[in-house]
Amino acid sequence: MGAEAEHRTTTPSRRIHADADADASPAVLGLQLSALIDHVARVDWSLLDRIPGDRGGSQQVSIEELNHILAEVNAQIRPSHDELSPIRTIAGGSVANTIRGLSAGFGISTGIIGACGDDSQGDLFVSNMSFSGVDLTRLRTKKGHTAQCACLVDASGNRTMRPCLSSAVKLQANDFKKEDFKGSKWLVVRYASQNMEQIHEAIRIAKQEGLSVSLDLASFEMVRDSRTQLIDLLETGNIDLCFANEDEARELIGEGPTFDPEEALAFLAKHCKWAVVTLASKGCMAKHGKQVVKVAATGERNAVDATGAGDLFASGFLYGLVKGLPLEECCKVGACSGGSVVRALGGEVRPENWQWMYKQMNASGLLLPDLDN
């Protein structure tokens, strides 16, 4: 489709492999049952009105619908602010964005548990993630198609996601092995009501192996449509850290126009050791035990594309937890990393924007990553 296919990811000048020995287990594992390729493009609002689902959210589509959307995008492309193609085709998915950010930007050892197809899209996913230093020994190749997603960015930098997962290869619950989890510290999970069997099984094994579990609430549509299942998952007590954006938090507690994010934060904190509600340009708030902190956003005024903002916020926050930073500093690092990805198109941070992030962290007195190991 004339896209900019990025087989080699854009990383800082120094190649980062991790802060652990090559034979050691990754500190952070990401559970992404289906490898995913993002097609990221700038579009006019008129196009968003012609595709199914709510503007600004994430709703699954069929392969026919995806192809129709991509054809529409090709016919109506907004110019890019930079010299690169206005369409980026890169490894994607919320979990992949988070662990790639941890590895490429923070020097934290990461791995992914999932499956990719034996097609060119699967090859692109493997190339992109491995170049970022992500351990792919837990990624199974299966015969079939790799998942794809249209990421449509409007003139205000807001993104609308239309993933096509129905025909994609996917890891099943009986594919998990204890060895996949052994020795790691964290498992990063994205909520998906259609994958609850796999999610519960992965969390069960992770807990047996002593891992902490981080959960992202995925989208306001997912929370709205599968709220009961989500609350059941939270009530298991197996979720240690939960991230929700403002829209997801509103759907979770069922509030109307008088929505209070602090109420949503308190609700999440009843079930999780760490609870975080991100508020876009208004920053974020987090709770751990009795401590509640509020932190301003970083870099919002230069936002080009909100794709990956929450994912990269999670990268920074998890970096803080792995390094033992206080709650407020975890939030501040998350604000810096979330602010870095919105400065360009797509859910992957460009080299100059990693450098921007390090400058923001340094100016705030935050612990900089050790990128020389």
Domain boundaries in the chain?
Answer: 28-36+93-141+172-364
For the stretch 56-85, pLDDT in tens is 878 889 989 998 898 888 877 655 555 445
For the stretch 142-152, pLDDT in tens is 999 999 999 99
| pLDDT at 140 exceeding the cut of 90 | yes
**pLDDT class of 211 with cuts at 50, 70, 90:** very high
Residues 6 or more apart whose Cβ sits within 8 Å of residue 95: 30, 31, 32, 112, 188, 189, 190, 216, 311
Lowest mean pLDDT among 9-23, 125-139, 150-164: 9-23
Spatial contact of 143 and 169, defined as CB atoms under 8 Å apart:
yes
Most confident of 72-76, 231-235, 250-254: 231-235
Q: When comparing pLDDT for 370 and 272, which is higher?
A: 272
Strands 186-190 and 159-164: unpaired
For the stretch 263-320, pLDDT in tens is 999 999 999 999 999 998 899 999 999 999 999 999 766 777 777 889 999 999 999 9
- d(Cα 294, Cα 202) in Å, to the nearest integer? 32
Residues 311-341: b if buried by 16+ CB within 10 A, e if exposed? bbbbbbbbbbbbbebebebbbbbbbbbbbbb
| pLDDT at 38 exceeding the cut of 70 | yes
**pLDDT class of 166 with cuts at 50, 70, 90:** confident
Tokens of 80: 């890019």
Spatial contact of 346 and 38, defined as CB atoms under 8 Å apart:
yes
Rg for the chain, CA atoms, rounded: 19
For the stretch 185-198, pLDDT in tens is 999 999 999 999 99
Calculate mean pLDDT across residues 102-130: 97
pTM: 0.87
Name the DSSP letter for residue 30. E
How many other CB atoms are found less than 10 A from the CB of residue 127?
Answer: 16
Q: Does domain 28-36+93-141+172-364 have CATH number 3.10.20.30?
A: no
Spatial contact of 312 and 351, defined as CB atoms under 8 Å apart:
no
